[in-house]
Chains A and B, each alone.
Chain A
Amino acid sequence: MEFLNAAVVLANFVLIPATAYGAQLALGALGVTLIYGILRFSNFAHGDTMAFGTMVTILVTWWLQSLGIGLGPLPTALLALPVGIAATAAMLLVTDRVVFRFYRKQKAVPVTLVIVSIGVMFILNGLVRFIIGPDDQRFADGARFIVNVRDFEAWSGLQEGLAIRTTQGITLVTAVITVALLFWFLNHTRTGKSMRAFSDNEDLALLSGINPERVVTITWIIVAALATIAGVLYGLDKSFKPFTYFQLLLPIFAAAIVGGLGNPLGAIAGGFVIAYSEVAVTYAFKKVLGYLLPDRLEPDGLVQLLSTDYKFAVSFAILVIVLLFRPTGLFRGKSV
């Protein structure tokens, strides 16, 4: 019984939130890793791209809510998501045309593109704050829980109740569908294979008649979808604040690098590695240990390894360890 209680507490505060967070990071890291694989630079504007897509989705959500349109127990934002993706795709394609393409044609070195992406980051950051403001926005509606504490306690007879929030469930389901679609696209369609070929060996792809501009266009569209979905899921689960999205850049990059830059599978693995470590290291295990240990050994402190404010330190530490011992990442990424 005590053990089950401990397991429920652990699930409530570590496993479930970390899984949802991991899925969000994984989607973000997939976007970063795709840009790296195809366009060959680290896109510092990715966090703000996520913020942009989420912002559009929120605006459309509000509009739908004002019309009284909703999805019942599911958040209205899911209905608005396609609009957000489309707007982000349009924005990214315009950015590519106006900004990035020039440097691509010049065959500029990657670091130039990184600096260019910093300029784009400033603009997107300003744009998002300009339109929706710098403050917290909550836009989740519908049912709050799939499994709520009281029902679970009544059903199981445990002291601790399990809670699964709707947004966590939606995060997981959406992420699984998105990733499945992405991998199906990359592995089983002509266009997807041509993207992998382009990422693998650009010169040979050109020799084979693969049109680079088409590959780039499709990449931006996929990135728009991944970034917007990641951003909306994160916003539903927590809340939307432009600065938070900018800060997500660090765990997202850490995830992509830990997994191996340019490797989609690695990005997913990296996302979960970062998320689980972040949550586990910053969680106070007092309650879990309280159930597991005999009363006499019950800890006095919170048994929290690091305060939550140090969550960046966790991403960072994992990043450094991987860089030191396996610079190409867990799954071999590009080492160029």
Chain B
Amino acid sequence: MAEPFLIGENMTGGYGKADILHDCTVAVEKGRIAVIVGPNGAGKSTAMKAVFGMLPLRAGTVRLNGEDITALSPQDRVARGMAFVPQNQNIFTSLTVEENLEMGAFLRRDDIRPTIEEVYNLFPILREKRRQPAGELSGGQRQQVAVGRALMTRPSLLMLDEPTAGVSPIVMDELFDRIIEVARSGISILMVEQNARQALEIADRGYVLVQGSNAYTDTGKALLADPEVRRTFLGG
């Protein structure tokens, strides 16, 4: 099997003495969507942070496009084309929508106008609200700002930590549609989701984590079809 675009392989580590992740592996192919699901406290967000370099690993490697990036800081990973949207506090509330996007592109020295246009095309509502402080927007719009901000670096990999937390079902569907659109443009997507069923429906690859280890790994469709997974994690 060819090396995936991004892979966090056999990751083991945690914040203190106790490990949270045990030999956990997640990967995503170029332009595809990988989703991490699992019960509360399964280490989903931790796995995400490990991939992004926000968690010290005792064992395992993270490779991006074949290059070992395990030792890089999150900032350096951003420079390498990774973008991360945290679950909480993922926008600059006192800055306007457009300033949020500009800050996303802080490291870029070239013309960022076209990228801003792309984001506005992806999320048209943001164009309307470009001069408003992002903190005044609704939950779903804030998430769009957060994703937009992350896209401003023109990443090759977009990591989303529960992008649909706290938004209504309609907004959630809308957001998933946009995420698919982003993936179609060639950007790989790795995301953690609480809404496991809907997320697996759009996933090319699904990872079910339990207590920091891989419990099931398959395509999204296969996992949805697996009676064991359905019974244990998807509520029948």
A207 and B78 contact, Cβ closer than 8 Å, known pairs A193-B102, A194-B103, A197-B103: yes
Identify the stretch in B12-20, B93-101, B194-202 within 8 Å (CB) of chain A at 4 or more residues. B93-101
Asked if B106 and A200 make an inter-chain contact with CB atoms under 8 angstroms apart, the answer reads: no
Given the known inter-chain contacts A190-B106, A207-B84, A210-B106, please indicate yes or no for A196 contacting B94, CB distance below 8 A. yes
CB-nearest residue of chain B relative to A206? B75
Closest to A37 in B: B94
CA distance A180 to B102 in the complex (A): 22
Q: Which residues of A contact B93 (CB under 8 A)?
A: 200-201
- For residue A191, give the distance in angstroms from its CB to the closest CB of chain B: 10
Q: How many A-B residue pairs have CB under 8 A?
A: 56
Closest CB-CB distance, B3 to chain A, in whole Å? 26
Q: Which residue of A lies closest to B104 (CB)?
A: A208
> 8 Å CB contacts to A: which residues of B52-103?
74-75, 78-79, 84, 86, 89-95, 99, 102-103
Min CB distance A286 to B, Å, is: 47
Residue B149, interface by CB 8 Å: yes
Nearest CB on B from A285, distance (A): 41
Indicate whether A207 sits within 8 Å of B74 (C-beta atoms), given known contacts A193-B99, A194-B106, A197-B103: yes
Tell me which residues across on chain A come within 8 A of B99, comparing CB atoms: 193, 196-197
Q: CB distance A200 to B78 under 8 Å?
A: no
State which residues 237-270 of A face B: CB under 8 Å.
none
Contact B106 A203 (CB under 8 A): no
| Contact flags B100-114 to A (C-beta < 8 A → 1, else 0) | 001110110000000
Given A190-B102, A193-B102, A194-B103, do A203 and B86 touch, yes or no (CB 8 Å)? Answer: yes
A200 in complex: contacting residue of B75, B79, B95, CB < 8 Å: B95
Cα–Cα, bound, A194→B102 (Å): 9
The secondary-structure label for the interface of chain A is: helix
A200–B153 CA distance with the chains assembled, in angstroms: 20
Distance of A55 Cα from B86 Cα, bound (Å): 47
In the bound complex, CA of A204 to CA of B134 (Å): 14
Interface bits A177-206 vs B (CB < 8 Å: 1, else 0): 000000000000010011011011101111
Question: Are B107 and A204 closer than 8 Å at their CB atoms?
Answer: no
Interface pair B92/A204, CB less than 8 Å apart: yes
B92 A201 Cβ-Cβ under 8 A: yes
How many Å from the CB of B111 to the closest CB on chain A?
Answer: 13
CB-nearest residue of chain B to A334: B94
Q: Are A208 and B95 in touch, CB under 8 angstroms?
A: no
Q: Is A209 an interface residue (CB 8 A)?
A: yes
Q: Which of B86, B89, B91, B92 has the most CB of A within 10 A?
A: B92
CB distance from B78 to the nearest CB of A (A): 5
Q: Which residue of chain B has the shortest Cβ distance to A332 in the bound complex? A: B94
Q: When chains A and B are docked, how far (Å) is the Cα of A264 from the Cα of B84?
A: 30
A210-B74 in contact (CB<8A): no
Contact digits for A201-245, partner B, Cβ 8 Å, 1 yes 0 no: 101111111100000000000000000000000000000000000
Contact of A209 among B86, B91, B94, B106 (CB under 8 A): B106
B92 and A209: CB pair below 8 A?
Answer: no
How many angstroms between the C-alpha atoms of A196 and B91 in the bound complex? 12
| A205-B103, A209-B106, A209-B107 as given contacts; A197 in contact with B84, CB under 8 Å | no
Complex Cα distance A41/B89, Å? 21
Quote the shortest CB–CB distance from B186 to chain A (angstroms).
Answer: 22
The answer to whether B106 and A201 have CB atoms under 8 Å apart is: no
- Cross-chain contact A196 with B74 (CB below 8 angstroms): no
In the complex, what distance in Å separates the CA atom of A209 from the CA atom of B92? 14
Check A204 against B89 for contact (C-beta < 8 Å).
yes
A199, closest chain B residue (CB): B94
Which A142-158 residues have C-beta < 8 A from chain B? none
- Would A209 and B75 count as touching, CB distance under 8 A? yes
Known interface pairs A207-B84, A209-B106; A201-B89 also in contact (CB < 8 Å): yes
Judging by beta carbons under 8 Å apart, are B86 and A193 in contact?
Answer: no
- Whether A209 contacts B95 by the Cβ 8 Å rule is no
Contact (Cβ within 8 A) A210 B86: no
The distance in angstroms between the C-alpha atoms of A208 and B95, with both chains bound, is 14
Do A193 and B79 have beta carbons less than 8 Å apart?
Answer: no
Question: Which A residues are in CB contact (< 8 Å) with B92?
Answer: 196-197, 200-201, 204-205
Are the C-beta atoms of B89 and A210 separated by less than 8 Å? no
Compute how far the CA of A134 lies from the CA of B219 in the bound complex, rounded to whole angstroms. Answer: 77
Contact call B90/A200, Cβ cutoff below 8 A: no
CB distance from B147 to the nearest CB of A (A): 13
For residue A201, which residues in chain B have a CB less than 8 angstroms away from its CB? 89, 91-93
User: CB-nearest residue of chain A relative to B105?
Assistant: A208
Q: Are A204 and B90 in contact (CB under 8 A)?
A: yes
A74-110 contacts to B (CB < 8 Å): none
Docked pose: A59 CA to B79 CA in angstroms: 48
Contact of A204 among B75, B91, B102, B153 (CB under 8 A): B91
Nearest 7 A/B pairs, CB to CB: A209-B107, A200-B92, A197-B103, A200-B94, A197-B92, A208-B106, A209-B106
| Contact sample, A vs B, 23 pairs, CB 8 Å cutoff | A193-B99, A193-B102, A193-B103, A194-B106, A196-B94, A196-B95, A197-B95, A197-B99, A197-B103, A197-B106, A199-B94, A200-B92, A200-B94, A203-B86, A204-B86, A204-B89, A205-B103, A206-B74, A206-B75, A207-B75, A209-B78, A209-B107, A210-B106
A residues touching B (Cβ–Cβ < 8 Å)? 190, 193-194, 196-197, 199-201, 203-210
Q: 19 extra interchain contacts, Cβ-Cβ under 8 A, other than A201-B92, A207-B84? A: A194-B106, A196-B92, A196-B94, A196-B95, A196-B99, A197-B92, A197-B106, A199-B94, A200-B92, A200-B93, A200-B94, A204-B90, A205-B92, A205-B103, A207-B78, A208-B78, A208-B104, A209-B106, A210-B106
